[in-house]
Amino acid sequence: MAPAEIRQVIIGILSKIAPDEDLSSLDDTKPFREQMELDSMDFLDIVMELRKAYRIQIPEEDYFHLGTMQSTVEYLTPLLKDA
């Protein structure tokens, strides 16, 4: 998948987690935590949604890569290159 597609995948996951949220104004460089008040339970859900959809395992020590949209897409690009 290309970075733009990965971004769409993440948007899809975020809209599942927070269906009442308007994601059109999401700033890719700002932490999700600040913009959407995501907590540790929500980050775990992003990881589990990725595992469910693409069978990729993200170890706990890598969770910090999922801070912003930009860092998430960068981190996932090599992992999802064949997806």
Partner 1 sequence: MHYDTLIIGAGLSGLAAGIRCAYFDQRVCVLERHTTIGGLNSFYRLRGRNHDVGLHAVTNYASPGSKTGPLSKLLRQLRIRWDEFALCEQIGSSVVFPGVTLKFTNDFEYLREQVHSRFPLEKDRFERFHSHLLTFNELDLNQQAVSAREIVGSFLRDPLLIDMLFCPLMFYGSARPEDMDWNQFVVMYKSIFLEGFARPNRGVRPIMKALVRKYKDVGGELKLRSGVRRILVHQGRAAGVELEDGRQLTANRVLSSAGIVETLKLCANNREQGTIEANSLPAAGDVTFNEVIDILDISPQQLGHDQTIIFFSSSERFQYRKPQEPCDLQSGIICSPNNYRYTEPLEEGCIRLTALANHDFWLNLPEREYTAAKAEWADKIRETALELIPDYRAHILDTDTFTPHTIRRFTGHENGCVYGAPEKSLDGRTPIKELYICGTDQGFLGIVGAMLSGITMANNHCLNP
- What residues line the site for partner 1 (CB under 8 A)? 16-21, 36-37, 39, 41-42, 44-45, 48, 52
| 79: Cα separation from own chain's centroid | 13
Burial class (CB in 10 A: 0-12, 13-18, 19+), 50: buried
Least distance (Å) between residue 18 CB and partner 1:
6
Q: Compute the least distance from the CB of residue 83 to partner 1, in Å.
A: 18
Q: Which is nearer to partner 1, 17 or 77 (CB)?
A: 17
Nearer to partner 1, 42 or 79 (CB): 42
Contact 16, 49 (CB under 8 A): yes
